[in-house]
Amino acid sequence: MSQDPASVPASRPGKLLLVGFGPGSEEHLTFRAKKAIEEAECVIGYRTYIDLVRPLIAGKEVIQTGMTEEIERASLAVDLAYQGRTVALVSSGDVGIYGMAGLAFEVLADRGWTGSEISVEVIPGVTALSSCASVLGAPLMHDFASISLSDLLTPWEIIVKRLHAAAQADFVVALYNPKSSKRVRQIEEAQEIFLKYRTPETPVGIVKSATREGESIVISTISDMLSHPIGMLTTILIGNSQTKIFQNRMVTPRGYQRKYDIHTGDRLARSERR
């Protein structure tokens, strides 16, 4: 049980550092994220994420909790910051994209934070859709959407509407949390929705643990995507109508060839544009 921050007077202003540490390897950690973790007296995170940054937190107080204990982590981080401590609340990827930053601000609002009692800094990281795109090639070169298939916090009916809208609008789509041991139907329904709007041969990238141990990269198609292993550590990138496969890389053209000669860089005459 966390303490009431009002009951524990702070001798100095505390700091709450909301840190996204990227895919997990130190090579993909930003300079600011590394400095923030070094600065922190206490590091709080989901135990799997703590394991990813273990070499950086030797000698620090470390608090790790389970997957469904996000509120407890955020509340404890805020409490400790109110007590005058420098606390790093860490998430993999970007802390502000499906991470802990939003929940931390909800807890701060519930505490009546006015912006002056403690300092709060959000430190971005390389998010999963970026790291997965990098190992696939360049699939996100045009407009894209990100949709989580987890209906733990969002009703499935709303997720279905978003899938239809993104598929119909021809966005490249990143699917987060596509499947778990108990949640298997959602990815099947998502496939059915995309097949209503896109050809079966549309490229699909299936990436697990991008740029870290256990990495798996598969380039498939919408019609064949479910024949490959998919789990909670998987991110799926579904191409749009223009996405191509080039040298086993998934590439979504930006549209330069419609206006320019790709060899010379000269602008095409209107009659030559495709």
Percentage of the chain exceeding pLDDT 70: 92
To the nearest whole number, what is the mean pLDDT of the chain?
Answer: 91
Mean local confidence (pLDDT), 84-109: 96
Which DSSP category does 256 fall into? G
- CB distance 174 to 146 below 8 Å: yes
Instruction: Decide if pLDDT at 200 tops 80.
Output: yes
* CA separation, residue 142 to residues 134, 145, 254 (Å): 14, 10, 5
Which domains are present in the chain?
5-126 (3.40.1010.10), 129-256 (3.30.950.10)
Q: Which residue has the tokens 């922190």?
A: 40
**pLDDT of the residue at 11:** 65
Listed range (9-13, 24-28, 109-113) with the worst mean pLDDT: 9-13
User: What integer pLDDT is reported at residue 272 of this predicted model?
Assistant: 59
**What pLDDT sits at residue 189?**
98
What is the spatial distance between Cα 88 and Cα 129, in angstroms, rounded to a whole number? Answer: 23
What is the layout of strands, in order, in the sheet containing 15-20? Answer: 61-65, 42-46, 86-91, 15-20, 119-123
Backbone phi, then psi, for 205, in 5-degree steps?
-100, 135
Predicted model pTM:
0.88
What's the confidence (pLDDT) of residue 182? 87
CA dist 231 and 104 (Å) reads 27
Range from 64-78, 94-108, 113-127, 256-270 carrying the lowest mean pLDDT: 256-270
Please name the residue that has the structure tokens 């990813």: 52
155 vs 254, higher pLDDT: 155
The closest alpha carbon to 150, from 113, 107, 185, belongs to 185
